[in-house]
């Protein structure tokens, strides 16, 4: 069946095969990052509300479970913006754990809601928290992340450090560099001090490899990326820079991909839903969704012919992105 709030699994170099839950339904975020791969933020807000109710999400997840799919490595709370803005977060985490007690729950966040102690308490129930922090220089933070008024990067950094003191799970921090926006020496020095205090379980320093919101948002050169990775003691390899060259293999290494038959609407829906959340290459889709490469290309061709996709070359890779009004 087609789902509104479940997408993927998508493959992530950081957490493996991840089944995504969309907690927002729309592009709702407390930031409007220049590099955002889901497109411009439609609702720039910092208030928390049940943008999608826990009941609606958990009902879909229960149906997905009944369909007997191959289990992912992790269930990730995300969506088209900042998932922690969903005030039903505690019910959603609790409900997911009840349905899949053996799977870890991961939460993607831009960390801005974590300045609220109540939010930090709620996130203690997750197993992996994946915050992002791009700049601790206030002017750079405003330029690259374009946050809601009143959000200060130093407050967000302090909130993360507070959270680290109590959280028993893993923290995977991501820093995304955009040329001329946040790759300054001043930021590197501040981020170095912050990372050493936070001591996350993993740090990923990445640059744009997928199409972002603004054409002017460009990747940094490999030398700069390398310098930052070394300075922050980051992981050598991430899904953004080394996960896209593998074929469609299952977790045990055997080829478990399925082929798409003409009119296979389930595969069509899964590929469409996945591209709505994240631009991807055909190989990434094939690997994560366990659909043959040829099958993925058939669906991509259909979507392209109906004008629903934009195509962008990034290095040697071709990324397919769903048009916001596609
Ligand atoms: S990249 Fe993340 S934090 Fe930035 S606008 Fe997109 S969804 Fe929001």
Given this model, what pLDDT does residue 253 score? 27
Contacts of 185 (CB under 8 A, 6+ apart): none
Instruction: Judge if the beta carbon of residue 31 lies within 6 A of ligand 1.
Output: yes
pLDDT in tens, the chain (326 residues): 678 999 888 888 889 999 999 999 999 999 999 999 878 999 999 999 999 999 999 999 999 999 988 899 999 999 889 999 999 999 999 999 999 999 999 999 999 999 999 999 999 999 999 999 999 999 999 999 999 999 999 999 999 999 999 999 999 999 999 999 999 999 999 999 999 999 999 999 999 876 666 778 889 999 999 999 999 999 886 544 433 322 222 222 223 344 455 456 777 888 888 888 778 888 888 877 878 888 888 888 888 888 888 887 777 778 888 876 65
Please give the distance, rounded to the nearest whole angstrom, from the Cα atom of residue 301 to the centre of ligand 1.
Answer: 28
Per-residue burial over 54-86, b = 16 or more CB atoms within 10 Å of its CB, e = otherwise: beebbebbeebeeeeeeebbbbbbbbbbbbbbb
Alpha carbon distance 312, 210 (integer Å): 8
CATH topology of domain 244-326: Arc Repressor Mutant, subunit A (1.10.10)
Every domain range in the chain assigned CATH 3.20.20.70: 6-243
| Residue having the nearest C-alpha atom to atom 7 of ligand 1 | 81
> Of all atoms in ligand 1, which is nearest to the CA of residue 35?
1
Given this model, what pLDDT does residue 249 score? 23
Please give the distance, rounded to the nearest whole angstrom, from the Cα atom of residue 81 to the centre of ligand 1.
Answer: 5
Given this model, what pLDDT does residue 258 score? 47
Token look-up 């300075």 returns 231
Please give the distance, rounded to the nearest whole angstrom, from the Cα atom of residue 182 to the centre of ligand 1.
Answer: 15
Every domain range in the chain assigned CATH 1.10.10.10: 244-326
CATH topology of domain 6-243: TIM Barrel (3.20.20)
Given this model, what pLDDT does residue 173 score? 98
> Of all atoms in ligand 1, which is nearest to the CA of residue 38?
6
């Amino acid at each position: 069946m087609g789902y509104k709030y479940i997408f993927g699994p998508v493959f992530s170099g950081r957490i493996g095969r991840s089944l995504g839950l969309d907690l927002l339904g729309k592009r709702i975020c407390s930031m409007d990052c220049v590099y955002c791969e889901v497109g411009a933020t439609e609702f720039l807000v910092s208030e928390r509300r049940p943008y999608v109710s826990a009941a609606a999400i958990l009902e879909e997840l229960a149906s997905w479970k009944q369909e007997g799919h191959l289990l992912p490595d992790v269930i990730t709370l995300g969506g088209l913006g900042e998932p922690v803005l969903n005030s039903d977060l505690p019910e959603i985490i609790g409900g997911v754990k009840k349905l899949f007690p053996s799977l870890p729950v991961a939460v993607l966040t831009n960390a801005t809601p974590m300045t609220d102690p109540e939010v930090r308490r709620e996130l203690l129930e997750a197993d992996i928290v994946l915050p992002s922090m791009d700049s601790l220089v206030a002017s750079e933070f405003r330029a690259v992340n374009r946050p809601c008024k009143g959000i200060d990067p130093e407050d967000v950094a302090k909130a993360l450090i507070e959270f680290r003191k109590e959280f028993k799970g893993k923290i995977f921090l991501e820093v995304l560099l955009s040329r001329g926006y946040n790759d300054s020496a001043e930021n590197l020095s501040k981020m170095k001090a912050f990372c050493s205090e936070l001591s996350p379980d993993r740090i990923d320093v990445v640059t744009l490899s997928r199409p972002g919101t603004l054409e002017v948002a460009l990747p940094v050169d490999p030398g700069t990326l390398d310098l930052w990775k070394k300075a922050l003691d980051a992981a050598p390899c991430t899904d953004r820079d080394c996960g896209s060259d593998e074929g469609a293999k299952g977790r045990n290494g055997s080829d478990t991909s399925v082929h798409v038959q003409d009119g296979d609407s389930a595969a069509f829906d899964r590929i469409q839903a996945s591209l709505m959340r994240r631009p991807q290459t055909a190989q990434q889709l094939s690997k994560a969704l366990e659909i043959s490469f040829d099958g993925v290309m058939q669906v991509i061709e259909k979507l392209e012919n109906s004008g629903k996709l934009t195509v962008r070359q990034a290095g040697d890779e071709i990324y397919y992105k769903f048009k916001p009004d596609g």
